[in-house]
Structure 1
Amino acid sequence: MNYNLLINNLTNPTLLFFALGVLASLVKSDLEIPPSTSKFISLYLLFSIGFKGGQELAHSGLNREIIVTLLLSISLATVVPMYTFFLLKTRLSVENAGAIAATYGSVSAVTFVTATLFLDSLKVNYGGHMVASMALMEAPAIIIGVMLMRKYGTQTGNDHGMGSIVHESLTNGSVFMIVGSLVIGIIADVKGAEGIKPFTTDIFKGFLAIFLLEMGMVAARRFSAFKNYGWFVTLFAIIIPIVNGLMSVIITHYMGIHPGNRLLIAILAASASYIAVPAAMKQAAPQADPGLYVPMALGLTFPFNITIGLPFYWLVIQSF
């Protein structure tokens, strides 16, 4: 079953475009995405993810478990980038540490969808509000990552007060877009939101494919830099997801959350973003090396989570 999940997701057209980008770079093709187009797609992805998350929040009825789940999701998206940043900073530059911390504090939508398919195959129910949890975990990690880079980075100086750091982080274009879109999605009129659904939903995968095509080219061009970082980043990309996933399983057990939702929270905590965070870091932290954090998230953490992580976390949940 897990091999089928792996095959189904690795043959997803959007991921195949990532492979095409890698291939284009390896064969030294002159294929390229114009910078202005790339910037537009980055902003579009942030807008669409934020808006759809806001819509899910607006449509979800509130009860104790939903409120607890949403608060826990935000807490995980805040704590994970903070502790991983200081761990990473001992071996990497501030910019790379911040980008990777944001990557692992944020989430992978494709991993989340894979987890729902896993639960469907087991005929285990889960709440629709988990989509909102996924969206809520995007922005805090980006904000924390940018804040830490602003505070500890040499290029912006260390004499900034916390108020200045928070202001710069929240007003950063990419962060402002995803947070603003989330708020608009919550308060938007239902009929009005339906009017732009073709833009926010129907063409999302197409733009995502083009974005991952460019990410594939960028990652392949700079993959040698990833290899130069040695075993530390490889072990990080496997061990940290396990730590985050198990931490979530234990916490949700004592909170009395439904097993299906517990698995989804665990996989969200264990996953790493290769959509929203790279789109944000492309603007917020151009000094950070995408040839490091993109291959870590997409080449290591993603396949690990969908082949080993999902059945492992489910086994642990069942053991409780």
Structure 2
Amino acid sequence: MDFLSDFFTKFGAQLQSPTLGFLIGGIVIAAFGSQLQIPDAIYKFIVFMLLIKVGLSGGIAIRNSNLTEMLLPALFAVVMGILIVFIGRYTLAKMPNVKTVDAIATAGLFGAVSGSTLAAGITVLEAQGIEYEAWAGALYPFMDIPALVTAIVVASIHTSKKRDKYFSEEEYLSKQPVAAGEYPSGQEYPTTRQEYLSQQRGTANKVEIWPIVQESLQGSALSALLLGLALGILTRPESVFESFYEPLFRGLLSILMLVMGMEAWSRIGELRKVGQWYAIYAFFAPLLHGFIAFGLGMIAHYVTNFSAGGVALLAIIAASSSDISGPPTLRAGIPSANPSAYIGASTAVGTPVAIALGIPLYIGLAQALMGG
């Protein structure tokens, strides 16, 4: 009973943080039809400032720490990025009227990482005075890239298998196309299944991994984070970090949370188009992903003395869903997926759940279990 009382006390305290207050405030004013708008250029600048600050602090910490301490948490981040995609593939994809390719894209977005949620989690940890490894923010790409790559590969395999399924022996013998546009006009049509599959191996079945990784690395969010990491490791940015980036961090984050609250409300209409299963998934998936990552973080805690704040941050990263770099990557990599499904599920439900429930939940749990 003492544990439960301690946990709920800490959980309630987290819900009163200004970070969550601005998020809820954005939802409320948007629901009442407010015409308040934050220009997109300002929004992108704020995201850049927050992520480069996280990158700088992580780079400084990496330069001054033992890199072997990062190995197990980084490995667990990679495992989580891949695992989340397969969880969505075999849960959401099995629901009525949910297209498998849409479910895979949604799982990929939930496996990728939200830079704003990461920044929010770090802010709450610092506000509560909870210690965490500054390099923990650098776990971002270890989960983000594997999730996006896995989603695109799994979707490609599914699409290829689905295409092959519709080619029966009779269809080949009659030389009739299976669907409009399935085979280019003017090109000799295959007469046997073996011939068709041979021709397809070099096209539809081929998945290029490096372009996916490259696109993720070149995305605005990951670029800012990696730039900050590089500057923190290779230079001595402590003076500008402490005098400029650190003081602005929480104020900029409050504006970002306000924007995300308004965005979440605006996306609810998109989510209605694709059914209730996405809403159910988007509510429960962040919590499930966070709990799994929290368990892995506890293993790292006992093996390498990973801090309570670090465990909570790993869970927060896993609970988040990408809001910047993920959507364009998935649009390019899985063009047949419906953006209203995965973007609507993420921004309308997933991100608010990760921030409003996930952050206080995992921080409170870490404090209760490890006394952070």
TM-score, normalized by length of structure 2?
0.67
Shift of 1:294: 0.6
Overall identity of the aligned pairs, in %: 20
What's 2:52 paired with? 47
- CA shift for structure 1 position 174: 2.3
Corresponding residue for residue 209 of structure 2? 162
Give 1:21 deviation, angstroms.
Answer: 0.3
SS at match of 2:109: helix
Residues 107/180 of structure 1: CA separation in 2 closer, same or farther (3 Å cut): same
Q: Does 1:270 align with 2:319?
A: no
Structure 2 alignment gaps of length 5 or more: 1-5, 94-101, 157-203, 332-338
C-alpha distance in structure 1 between counterparts of 2:126 and 2:227, whole Å: 27
Amino acid at match of 1:101: G
1:31-54 residue CA offsets vs partner (Å, 9 max, x unmatched): 111112112222222222111211
Q: How many residues of Structure 1 are paired with residues of Structure 2 in the alignment? A: 295
What is the CA RMSD across the aligned residues, in angstroms? 3.5
Instruction: State yes or no: 1:143 paired with 2:145.
Output: yes
Amino acid at match of 2:287: I
Equivalent in the alignment of 2:366 = 310
Q: Is the 8 A contact 1:102 1:277 kept in 2?
A: yes
After TM superposition, give the deviation of residue 20 of structure 1 in Å: 1.2
Please state whether the residue corresponding to 2:323 is helix, strand or coil: helix
Alignment counterpart, residue 131 of structure 1, candidates 120, 129, 134: 134
- Aligned pairs for 1:6-45 (under 5 A) are 6-45=11-50
46 and 95 in structure 1: CA distance in 2 versus 1, 3 angstrom threshold: farther
Relative to structure 2, which stretch is displaced further, 30-39 or 162-171? 162-171
Match of 2:354 in 1: 297
Q: Within 2, Cα distance between the matches of 1:274 and 1:206?
A: 24
Q: Distance in 2 between matches of 1:105 and 1:4?
A: 28
- The structure that has the greater radius of gyration is 2
User: Which residue pairs with 1:246 in the alignment?
Assistant: 295
Distance 1:163 1:110, change over 3 A: closer
For residues 220-235 of structure 1, the aligned pairs below 5 Å read 220-223=265-268, 225=271, 228=276, 229-235=278-284
Distance 1:110 1:2, change over 3 A: farther
Could you say what secondary structure the match of 2:112 adopts?
helix
Q: Per-residue deviation at 1:183?
A: 1.0
Structure 1 CA distance, aligned partners of 2:40 and 2:24? Answer: 20
Question: How many angstroms apart in 1 are the aligned matches of 2:300 and 2:19?
Answer: 33
C-alpha contact (below 8 Å) 2:216/2:222 kept by paired residues: yes
Worse-matched range after superposition: 95-104 or 80-89: 95-104
Report SS of the residue matched to 1:137.
Answer: helix
Specify the SS of the correspondent of 1:270.
Answer: helix
SS in 2 for 1:278: coil
CA contact (8 A) 1:55 1:185 kept: yes
Secondary structure, counterpart of 1:29 in structure 2? coil
